[in-house]
Structure 1
Amino acid sequence: MDSMSRRTILVATAGVVAAVAAADPAAARPLPPRADRPVDNRFWTSRKDWSAGAADGVRTVAKPRAGVELARPVGTVAYADPHTGRTTTWEYARWTGPVHRSAVPGTELIASWNARTPRSTWIQVEVEATYSDGVRTPWYVLGRWTSGDDRQDPAAPVIRRTSVDGQKDGRSTVWTDTLSLDDTTTGLRLVSYRLRLTLYRAPGTTLTPTVWRLGAMTSDVPDRFTVPASEPGHAGELAVPRYSQEVHKGQYPEYDNGGEAWCSPTSSQMILEYWGRGPTAADLAWVDPSFADPQVCHAARFTYDYQYGGCGNWPFNAAYAATYRDMQGVVTRLGSLTDLETLIAAGIPAITSQSFLKEELTGAGYGTAGHLMTVVGFTDTGDVIANDPASPSNAAVRRVYERREWETIWLRTKRKNAQGKVVSGTGGVCYLYFPLRPSKAQLAALAAVGVR
């Protein structure tokens, strides 16, 4: 589990407000949201998608995947890395997406991106949203990201991947990777947004990042301490590898105090290996050979957010998964265990985020303010089969959790902590990783939960 206090998640009240009448008529229309999943997902992935944005020094590429690359620099910038103290000059180009009018006027927004960043390159993702009264937010930074780090080649220009604290306008705030309204009781909502992608490289080179997927999830999940019970559906279990974060306790403490806090990268590694992906022996050469499951250490290192001080940045985990061959990763919210059953039936496991007291989840043996685990199946009676990385050994990772308890701790947005104080829950957040070319059944399952 994540030993750090998870960032504050501000949650929504019931109801939505009217959308802005002057929204961009060219904005894509998503699938209508279901009542139990008040979520809008919009991702730019196709050549048509990328061509719809404003290109300033970037080019659209089609093969082997549609995306954008740096074609010609439009300027230079001196970036002072707060985590290294070094100031480095970078060339850059920029893509700005069209305005997307959300089907769900939201209280929260979380972006996702899939990219390749060769050494000495990086990307920045920003959002400018419009409130329901027509006022716009500033451009908020949702991540400065690179797949590598300065340990690989200390002589090469590089940044440390990071979220950006302290961004607010008196109405909304960025909490690590989540843009949240400060007060959801006023009726104010985020009704539209546009994303801005900046590609950076070392000056005088021909290097370029390539970004294949960029998008965001907006949501308006009502305040709730509990949720309606769902009826059991699909039963079955996927053969997902099992890894414990606890066996890495004390290893590489520079990455969030070592393995005890590595629930997110451990879960990410399990699903990557389910899809037949993972680091090579050469990639793992840096890991102490006496450590078991070195790929978990690798995942922790390359999901680490130097500002957050942990490996639990949601989009950073999805971006890490997509660094592997023909993989895609997104962060979204689901509405019920029925959604998870739909995915499992199609062969897609999911990483879910939840928080609970020890007594709220029978058999867990612990309580947590924030923890990621991997849902791999359902029993004949509908109970949840999870690969829970907060287990003492790999052999103990497979757990069966009572359906009603698990559904509540995952989907609620409000709960009481051990001191009786009302605190937030994640409201159904999950990561989904899937291959570039899913099967027809998998495409249908992803579409059924609002992901394309």
Structure 2
Amino acid sequence: MPVLFRAWSTRSDPGRPGFDEGTARGTQVRRGALTIGRPVGAVSYIDPFGDGSPASYDHASWLSPWVPTPFGAAEVVASWNATTPVGTWVQVEVRGATTAGDETGWYVLGRWASYDDGFHRTSVAGQADDHGSVRTDTLVSRDGRAFGSYQLRLTLCRLAGTRAAPTVTLLGAMASAGSGERPVDLTPGVAVGRVLDVPAYSQEIHRGEYPPWDGGGEAWCSPASTAMVLDHWGRGPGREETSWVDPAYADPQVDHAARQVYDHAYGGTGNWSFNVAYAGSRGLTAFVTRLRSLGEAERFIARGVPLVLSVSFRADELDGAGYATAGHLMVLVGFDRRGDPVLNDPASHRVASNDEVRVTFDRAQLERAWARSNRTVYVIVPPEVALPEPSAQAPRW
């Protein structure tokens, strides 16, 4: 399955361009991040999940160059790493040019802040036209109208008359075509026998916790997975940040993650872009992309990098899971000596116990379950950790 990931960043990476490659409209790079330099105007915004009162925001923006997708992209998912002081937020949009030569309008892929007191982070529902539609975090092209290129627009907002501003260290997008359902590369590779020491958190422990953020249990696979990787890198929230969580609840970092990634329009915590944005707000480099096989995933494990995988399977399709799911997230932490994948599955057997989270699956079965989401992954690493070099046919991460 053809995949292209392209990103712009202020962090040192010889393979990734900086924000100077795009078009700044009131933005500038300062102290290692893109931020508001001189606002270009003001906009009135009514938070659809607030009290209905309009607020005025000064804003500036940055436009990426057009990114060619030679294979014709069927889907585009954006990623961003930002920090937003109270009273500020960012909006990420994408537009495409179809292979037939038509240019689309702008689609909103997220209105996001790293706080939720006075602003409700949200995707935007109801975006559909003759060229494509937005499904929460993903722009999907209409049949026969694949995108031959795309462009991103980042808008940085702050309450009018204030000085605080968002800071952005990475903006990018993954474009892909076709379906990844056919399993490939089932031969064990470079990570055979390596299992990373990633903490195991059950989402089921949290059943019924905090209904305003979707109530835990089966709804919290994504924040539980994100929390595991954050704690693996030592970047999870401490006691002061999680002091709002009921002390009777185990693993408060999972509750905190659920609150931080909750998408009010979607009504859940599974927004891919919002999960990596939360990780990115904690000083990590984080993005959504797609791989082509577990063989490529092994190269990350060999570098010490766990991956969050999106999967889907029937109850009889993944031995050892103990349930069925139309969409689920779990953490790839390694491979056993046979080359079978080892995962921290936060929903394992739907048992409310961290002791049940670590599971080894059959390689071919897991490959098929992962392929149902076109092998989508969250890559979450400290900036100083080098990712594996992509092969000649693989996307640059």
TMscore range, shorter length = over 0.9
1:1-400 aligned at under 5 Å gives the runs 37-46=1-10, 49-61=18-30, 63=31, 65=32, 67-84=33-50, 85-150=52-117, 158-183=118-143, 186=144, 188-222=145-179, 224=181, 226-233=182-189, 234-235=191-192, 236-325=194-283, 327-391=284-348, 392=351, 393-400=353-360
Change (3 A) 1:287 1:445: farther
2:14 paired residue number: none
- The one-letter code of the counterpart of 2:154 is L
Q: Structure 1: which 5+ residue stretches go unaligned?
A: 1-36, 151-157, 412-424
Q: Counterparts of 1:261 and 1:447 in 2: how far apart (Å)?
A: 38
1:426 paired residue number: 373
State the number of aligned residues: 386
Which segment drifts farther, 76-85 or 160-169? 76-85
TM-score by length of 1: 0.82
Change (3 A) 1:45 1:103: farther
Q: Counterparts of 2:391 and 2:250 in 1: how far apart (Å)?
A: 34
Deviation at 1:258, TM superposition (A): 2.3
Deviations 1:340-389 (A, max 9, x none): 11110110110000111111111111001100000001111111100000
Deviation at 1:170, TM superposition (A): 1.6
Deviations 1:365-419 (A, max 9, x none): 10011000000011111111000000321011000111111111111xxxxxxxx
Asked if 1:444 corresponds to 2:393, the answer is no
Change (3 A) 1:401 1:223: closer
Q: Counterparts of 1:124 and 1:430 in 2: how far apart (Å)?
A: 23
Deviation at 1:49, TM superposition (A): 2.5
Deviations 1:109-151 (A, max 9, x none): 011000111111000000111001111111000100001002x
Q: Counterparts of 1:292 and 1:117 in 2: how far apart (Å)?
A: 28
- The one-letter code of the counterpart of 1:287 is V
Deviations 1:65-110 (A, max 9, x none): 3x31011221111111111133211111111111111243211101
Change (3 A) 1:310 1:279: same
Q: Counterparts of 1:206 and 1:334 in 2: how far apart (Å)?
A: 41
CA contact (8 A) 2:10 2:34 kept: no
Deviations 1:286-334 (A, max 9, x none): 1001111111000000000000000000010000001113x11010011
CA contact (8 A) 2:183 2:364 kept: no
- The one-letter code of the counterpart of 2:46 is A
Q: Counterparts of 1:297 and 1:263 in 2: how far apart (Å)?
A: 11
Which segment drifts farther, 73-82 or 308-317? 73-82
Q: Counterparts of 2:105 and 2:176 in 1: how far apart (Å)?
A: 20
- RMSD across aligned positions (CA): 1.7
Q: Counterparts of 1:198 and 1:363 in 2: how far apart (Å)?
A: 45
Change (3 A) 1:287 1:121: same
Q: Counterparts of 2:273 and 2:116 in 1: how far apart (Å)?
A: 17
Secondary structure of 2:316's match? helix
Deviation at 1:448, TM superposition (A): 8.6
Q: Counterparts of 1:166 and 1:206 in 2: how far apart (Å)?
A: 33
CA contact (8 A) 1:346 1:445 kept: no
- The one-letter code of the counterpart of 1:69 is T
Deviations 1:8-29 (A, max 9, x none): xxxxxxxxxxxxxxxxxxxxxx
- The one-letter code of the counterpart of 2:138 is T
CA contact (8 A) 1:108 1:178 kept: yes
- The one-letter code of the counterpart of 1:149 is D
Q: Counterparts of 2:119 and 2:250 in 1: how far apart (Å)?
A: 29
Deviation at 1:160, TM superposition (A): 0.5
Q: Counterparts of 2:199 and 2:226 in 1: how far apart (Å)?
A: 11
Deviations 1:414-441 (A, max 9, x none): xxxxxxxxxxx311011010111114xx
Q: Counterparts of 2:67 and 2:199 in 1: how far apart (Å)?
A: 38
Deviation at 1:256, TM superposition (A): 1.4
Deviation at 1:259, TM superposition (A): 3.1
- The one-letter code of the counterpart of 2:5 is N
CA contact (8 A) 2:204 2:216 kept: no
Deviations 1:193-243 (A, max 9, x none): 11111100011111110111001110013374x423521112110000000
- The one-letter code of the counterpart of 1:41 is F
CA contact (8 A) 1:250 1:260 kept: no
CA contact (8 A) 2:180 2:292 kept: no
Q: Counterparts of 1:384 and 1:98 in 2: how far apart (Å)?
A: 38
- The one-letter code of the counterpart of 2:355 is A
Secondary structure of 1:310's match? coil
